[in-house]
Structure 1
Amino acid sequence: MKRRDFFKKGTTAALAAGVVPIIASSCATSKAIIDDRKKDKWYHLGTGKKAIPERKITKDFEVAVIGGGAAGICAAVASARNGSKTVLVQDRPVLGGNASSEMRVHLNGVNSIKGKAERETGIIEELLLHNRFENEQESYPVFDHVMYDFVIREPNLTLMMNTQAVEAIMDGNKIKSAKCWQATTETLFTIRASIFIDCSGDGLLGASAGAEYRTGREGKAEFNETYAPDEPDGWQMGATLLMSSKDMGRPMQYSPPSYAIKYTHEDAHPRRSFKWFQDGIWWIEVGSKGDIIADAEVNRHKLMGYLHGVWDYIKNSGNFPEAENLALDWVGSLPSRRESRRFIGDYIVSEKDMTEHKHFNDAVAYGGWSLDEHNPGGIENISEPPSYFHYHFKKIYEFPFRSLYSKNVSNLMFAGRNVSQTHIALSSSRIMATCALMGQAVGTAATICNKKGVLPRDVAKNYILELQEQLIRDDAFIPNRPANDANDLTKSASLIFCSTTTSGDAKNLLNGISRDIDGNINHWQSDGLNAEVQLEWETAVEISTVELKCDTNVKRNIMMRKDSKNDELYGNHVPIEMLKSLSVHGRVNGKWQDLGTIEANRTRLIKFNFKPSKVTAVKLKLKDTYGAKNIKLFEVRCYA
């Protein structure tokens, strides 16, 4: 069956009631929400009084982030840390989106460029490291709570769970406020903010604001894309439902439920592999050529049927004797979405921007996952491969800021799979760690908007260098863009030297590139532990902050995996290379003074903040790692 000629078969399915009492479409309105309590006959036995519950609340913030997946978490944390009063609105009871315990998708990034690309740093790495410390048992439900902790510990950030932004209230071409329904409290919140960031994936808030968007596949001609269909169509990649199994140590019987859809594997494409089926099969998916959001509940029911049909085939066909002792241990009920709305920004990223590695002056993120376009028909078109791996990258590509804000809604930004790009470009950049980099970029940009009193387009035109410098300082990597922060006092240092060296050079700590990339060494590495790094100034400088970036082996991935891999590409523990204990000292009036000590560091970006001191030298005493024999650093910075 040809991929272009595939005709989607109709299937009857049951519709389940959603937790949010609205129709999730671009024409949603707060009038569809139960907010008129005049007929509410509440009699409170404790007081003996009748009352009308107050279920309308207005809250004010500087930045409102909608959607608590990887992109939304990073956007909200970046915004809060850089000084904006921020709210994160999440429509589920857990954070993490596709990576949460509800869906359990691996938080992949550029790791498909095996051994040749350095993984994502910045906020997303900090979150994954936090999980390695707090969740050694690699439990997905515990990962939910790790993410929750990561967010609520930010003092400038408010988290609203079980809450969906359903309607934008406009003032001209700006979003004035967002109507949000919190299902658990039956409360209608009005969220007012200067900047709104839609990281929800489906983008209901942006759509209700009138932001331009498109769905489906562009034809070849529009962007000269090699892998696009000849003519545009409405197909969107489907959602997947995952499961995992457990070896019970004895034969386990399985009977499919009433709604199971029989699966036979007849005429299936050879690439529909059952490899690692114990931990789920990613090609159990269903797409749509129409309104994939409106189809969501129909498709969810189908997916549950297909999941059990495939498991029935594994258990009872006789083709998988290794499954005899296996039993379903967890089954997903919430499909993991890949595609729906794509908003239009000032630039639309397309296939050749990625494959030809276009350089963008406004680059703020990067990617490298293959152009991985899933079969539009999914499991309903098994004669075709489950995914067309059109193009495998050998190095990372850049992603521009102009694709992360709305073309026609002036204070709306977005991050994740709903950004301004073509269907083919989405097939790569939809990967969660890539989306997280976009999130950190827009969260940081939002704070510049508030500090300068400008809008996202103004940041792109006038403050892009400031945005890039802040992202790099916060340990996000931007390809082909070394740091050049004029406020970094190490630039005026007359001398930098180290106690011992096995590789690299002390001068590399000041070169603005905080990773070894493209075969170039940008680090200094000691010979053994208890090493020292010292900077000297000819005249005293006043400093109150020292920052450094240590080694966390960015060639090895640390995301959660159901199979808990621990090999050259994946690590299931705290990186042994990471610096554990260290102290910083300043030479004041000819005498060394202690400025700060950390005994159990947990991040790649390490910060010391202390009372301003006039120093002629700074000494870093690097004591221990989490297991490596030598200490490796990539950067040192000092600030007033």
Structure 2
Amino acid sequence: MTQRFLQRAVVFVCLMFSPLPCAHAVEHASVVIYGGTPAGIAAALAAGRSGDDVLLVEPYRRIGGLTTNGLSHTDFRTFEGLSGTYLELTRRVQTYYRDKYGEDSPQAQGNFRGTHAEPHVNQLLFEQMLSEAGNIRVLTRHRLVDVTVADESPRQVTEVIFEDADGKRVSVHGLIWIDATYEGDLMAAAGIEYRVGREARAEYGESLAPETADEQVQGYNFRPIMTQEPDNLVRPDAPEGYRREDYLPVIPLLEAGRFDSIFCRQTGGIYKAHRPTLPNGKYDVNDVSRGLVRLSLPDINNAWPDGDAAVRREIFAEHVRHNVGLLHFLQNDPAVPKKYQEESRTWGFCRDEFANTDHLPEQLYIREARRMVGQYIFTEKDTDVADGDSRTVLRTDAIAMGDYGPNCHGTDHDGPRFGGRHTGEFYKRVPPYQIRYGTIVPKECGNLLVPVACSASHVGFCALRLEPIWTSLGQAAGHAAHLALATQQPVQKVPIAELQRELHADGSSTIYVSDVLPGDDDYEAVQWWGTLGGLHGLHGPQARPGERGRNITGQYYEAFPGHAAELDEPLDDQLKQRWLKLAEENGLSTKPLAMAKTRGEFIRQAYAMLDRP
């Protein structure tokens, strides 16, 4: 493999400095990323900051994926679960609002520790982060057209053709490729094995899976940014294809008082206006789980993952008609009961967001599409609690962690669109869990990583499909790409321990620790020791698996109990013996460690023994 990689590197250098007779432009980079999602941005930053030449290709107008397209109410459970690039973004958000509006301003005080920013602010900060790296180039509005794969062992992606909005094509050559799209478009075009739909319960023994397999994917909807501020409010016009009769079935439900309001905080309405709010009087609006009227349309989404551009445009347009047309109907149709119409007319899209797309996000919320069948398949069992413990099962090859739990807004719909119900919906409480490296690695292709359309069952994917988690997986993919280049090895042979060290040094967690956070002096040591298994068994099982801390507001909680390292605690004999055994198994000298008096002293001494570059 080393000789083959060197040969390809020579070809790459020749391409860099030799004119090619071709009908379109040519680009070259060591690491090429398709998809400017938060995961793609994290991958670009990880590789770029490590010194690699990076090209980030985005099919839409703006980078940032859903984080800059309406999903500003970030899906996480605890602040202690945020790390790496996503945590960096939140800190920049705090600085932005403080610098622009003042320390005591509502904007500085009301961004929920940087996790709730306006979409245009997230976009600005992501652009700044990429620009600061200096060696990351960005192409927007370029869609994948064709992929060339060399039939080697392992197979290699060698060239990808992209096309811009004007039909001009660019040929891109790279050494390592990362597919960070929500749909897994590059992965699929490269011939990587993948799945669309749900596995049968018996396949992986998942309690949340259906009895029989099918092709259903989780429902999509828009995440519009809305406001009640009159000076910034734009009421939507009727969308193309609007037909009044499509929305009349909602009238009997309104007349029967089946809704408390049109906009609600959690339940009882049609549009969920998430709390806490965003700065400047804005709301991230979403689907109401288990509601009588849903913004998500799972019954029409199954064709999206493998659909061509025309199919996706058709599905997108139907979502516009439903999501926007319904609001236009509620605000303007004389059949709507007065109290509901008056309330709905106090709401509108934000004039200062998404100006190029009629104030609606340019991307649908693609909760699930293709899923790679990779080296390791993440399933519901990866979120199971370890025997006799408060923690989930140990994954010593973890490259990321999550704290949200499997959740699905539905995969199909029974009954009428208004008044029926979604099926395939579930929400499960679990403790924080670890994610193995094999989840982002194909079985065969030696120079491709897939952090978003990653390797998971449908149920497992429903725990991974949150932007902070995808961002962590993207950050891991970027560092893995750098190591693959540095070691001249395929991505399947990246040294995991070295990858974990790079992630910890970059502030990205591979295990949840509630009291030692990124930036703390002991963070890297505790992450290392915890990922080896040292923190498992410190606390007994919780009364309920997945028990959370005190509720802060909405879906956000204080730290999960039973997940603290408690470094100042005395090192009792039983724990010392277990830790000494673990140290010995990992090639460390146990004699000096036997003198440690506290947990922190032991971990620091053990970490200091490592032979690190």
1:477 aligns with 2:512: no
Quote the residue 1:434 is aligned against.
469
1:367 aligns with 2:402: yes
Distance in 2 between residues matched to 1:68 and 1:345, nearest whole Å: 22
Q: Alignment partner for residue 492 of structure 2, among 433, 457, 462?
A: 457
Distance in 1 between residues matched to 2:65 and 2:349, nearest whole Å: 23
Q: Alignment partner for residue 90 of structure 1, among 25, 37, 58?
A: 58
CA distance 1:259–1:443, change in 2 (3 Å): same
1:259 aligns with 2:280: no
Distance in 1 between residues matched to 2:222 and 2:556, nearest whole Å: 29
Cα deviation for residue 147 of structure 1 reads: 1.2
Distance in 1 between residues matched to 2:233 and 2:372, nearest whole Å: 51
Quote the residue 1:308 is aligned against.
324
- For the residue of structure 2 that corresponds to 1:454, the secondary structure is coil
CA distance 1:120–1:139, change in 2 (3 Å): closer
* Letter of the structure 1 residue corresponding to residue 319 of structure 2: L
Distance in 1 between residues matched to 2:324 and 2:524, nearest whole Å: 56
**CA offsets per residue over residues 256-282 of structure 1, 9 Å max, x none?**
456334164467998663364475232
1:104 aligns with 2:70: yes
Q: Alignment partner for residue 318 of structure 1, among 334, 338, 356?
A: 338
CA distance 1:85–1:481, change in 2 (3 Å): farther
**CA offsets per residue over residues 529-555 of structure 1, 9 Å max, x none?**
xxxxxxxxxxxxxxxxxxxxxxxxxx9
Distance in 1 between residues matched to 2:191 and 2:381, nearest whole Å: 29
Q: More helix by proportion, 1 or 2?
A: 2
Distance in 2 between residues matched to 1:375 and 1:108, nearest whole Å: 20
Distance in 2 between residues matched to 1:441 and 1:171, nearest whole Å: 25
Q: More strand by proportion, 1 or 2?
A: 1
Quote the residue 1:487 is aligned against.
none
1:403 aligns with 2:448: no
Q: Provide the aligned length of Structure 1 versus Structure 2.
A: 452
TM alignment of 1:50-129, pairs within 5 A = 56-100=24-68, 103-106=69-72, 108-111=74-77, 118-129=80-91
Distance in 1 between residues matched to 2:232 and 2:48, nearest whole Å: 52
Cα deviation for residue 181 of structure 1 reads: 2.3
TM alignment of 1:188-199, pairs within 5 A = 188-199=169-180
Distance in 2 between residues matched to 1:144 and 1:339, nearest whole Å: 23
The worse-fitting range, judged by mean Cα deviation, of 149-158 and 240-249 is 240-249
CA distance 1:106–1:425, change in 2 (3 Å): farther
CA distance 1:302–1:272, change in 2 (3 Å): farther
CA distance 1:400–1:143, change in 2 (3 Å): same
Distance in 1 between residues matched to 2:166 and 2:233, nearest whole Å: 46
1:166 aligns with 2:178: no
Cα deviation for residue 372 of structure 1 reads: 1.2
- For the residue of structure 1 that corresponds to 2:286, the secondary structure is coil
* Letter of the structure 2 residue corresponding to residue 193 of structure 1: G
Distance in 2 between residues matched to 1:93 and 1:369, nearest whole Å: 30
Quote the residue 2:460 is aligned against.
425
- For the residue of structure 2 that corresponds to 1:377, the secondary structure is strand
**CA offsets per residue over residues 49-73 of structure 1, 9 Å max, x none?**
xxxx985222222111111111000
Structure 2 unaligned runs (5+)?
1-20, 101-106, 108-116, 260-266, 274-282, 288-293, 351-358, 386-391, 515-519, 540-548, 559-602
Cα deviation for residue 163 of structure 1 reads: 1.7
1:339 aligns with 2:368: yes
Distance in 2 between residues matched to 1:217 and 1:253, nearest whole Å: 38
* Letter of the structure 2 residue corresponding to residue 110 of structure 1: F
CA distance 1:306–1:479, change in 2 (3 Å): same
Percent sequence identity over aligned pairs? 20
**CA offsets per residue over residues 439-477 of structure 1, 9 Å max, x none?**
011110111111110011111xxx111111111111111
Please report the TM-score for the alignment, with normalisation by the length of structure 1. 0.63
CA distance 1:248–1:514, change in 2 (3 Å): farther
TM alignment of 1:18-37, pairs within 5 A = none
* Letter of the structure 2 residue corresponding to residue 384 of structure 1: R
CA distance 1:457–1:333, change in 2 (3 Å): closer
**CA offsets per residue over residues 309-355 of structure 1, 9 Å max, x none?**
43145434334343343344343353221111111111111111113
Distance in 1 between residues matched to 2:24 and 2:167, nearest whole Å: 9
The worse-fitting range, judged by mean Cα deviation, of 231-240 and 356-365 is 356-365
**CA offsets per residue over residues 374-397 of structure 1, 9 Å max, x none?**
22236947522587333122x200
CA distance 1:254–1:158, change in 2 (3 Å): closer
Distance in 1 between residues matched to 2:237 and 2:370, nearest whole Å: 38
**CA offsets per residue over residues 562-600 of structure 1, 9 Å max, x none?**
xxx999869xxxxxxxxxxxxxxxxxxxxxxxxxxxxxx
Quote the residue 1:512 is aligned against.
526
- For the residue of structure 1 that corresponds to 2:159, the secondary structure is strand
Distance in 1 between residues matched to 2:550 and 2:501, nearest whole Å: 26
* Letter of the structure 1 residue corresponding to residue 296 of structure 2: E
The answer (yes or no) to whether the contact 1:86–1:156 under 8 Å persists in 2 is yes
The answer (yes or no) to whether the contact 2:80–2:513 under 8 Å persists in 1 is no
CA distance 1:58–1:419, change in 2 (3 Å): same
Distance in 1 between residues matched to 2:213 and 2:284, nearest whole Å: 36
- For the residue of structure 2 that corresponds to 1:241, the secondary structure is coil
Distance in 1 between residues matched to 2:406 and 2:424, nearest whole Å: 10
The answer (yes or no) to whether the contact 2:398–2:437 under 8 Å persists in 1 is yes
The answer (yes or no) to whether the contact 1:94–1:148 under 8 Å persists in 2 is no
- For the residue of structure 2 that corresponds to 1:361, the secondary structure is coil
The answer (yes or no) to whether the contact 1:107–1:433 under 8 Å persists in 2 is no
- For the residue of structure 2 that corresponds to 1:451, the secondary structure is helix
Q: Compare CA radii of gyration and give the structure with the larger one.
A: 1
**CA offsets per residue over residues 28-82 of structure 1, 9 Å max, x none?**
xxxxxxxxxxxxxxxxxxxxxxxxx985222222111111111000011001112
Distance in 1 between residues matched to 2:418 and 2:378, nearest whole Å: 29
The answer (yes or no) to whether the contact 2:73–2:284 under 8 Å persists in 1 is no
The answer (yes or no) to whether the contact 1:234–1:289 under 8 Å persists in 2 is no
The answer (yes or no) to whether the contact 1:217–1:423 under 8 Å persists in 2 is yes
Quote the residue 1:291 is aligned against.
303
The answer (yes or no) to whether the contact 2:510–2:527 under 8 Å persists in 1 is no
**CA offsets per residue over residues 194-217 of structure 1, 9 Å max, x none?**
211100121222111111111010
CA distance 1:635–1:178, change in 2 (3 Å): farther
CA distance 1:146–1:253, change in 2 (3 Å): closer
* Letter of the structure 1 residue corresponding to residue 429 of structure 2: H
- For the residue of structure 2 that corresponds to 1:285, the secondary structure is coil
* Letter of the structure 1 residue corresponding to residue 62 of structure 2: V
- For the residue of structure 2 that corresponds to 1:310, the secondary structure is helix
CA root-mean-square deviation: 4.0
Distance in 1 between residues matched to 2:524 and 2:284, nearest whole Å: 45
The answer (yes or no) to whether the contact 2:504–2:524 under 8 Å persists in 1 is no
Structure 1 unaligned runs (5+)?
1-52, 483-505, 522-554, 559-564, 571-633
- For the residue of structure 2 that corresponds to 1:366, the secondary structure is strand
Quote the residue 2:411 is aligned against.
376
Distance in 1 between residues matched to 2:395 and 2:556, nearest whole Å: 32
Distance in 2 between residues matched to 1:246 and 1:445, nearest whole Å: 45
CA distance 1:140–1:514, change in 2 (3 Å): farther
* Letter of the structure 1 residue corresponding to residue 428 of structure 2: Y
The answer (yes or no) to whether the contact 1:251–1:324 under 8 Å persists in 2 is no
Q: Alignment partner for residue 448 of structure 1, among 479, 483, 495?
A: 483
Quote the residue 1:529 is aligned against.
none
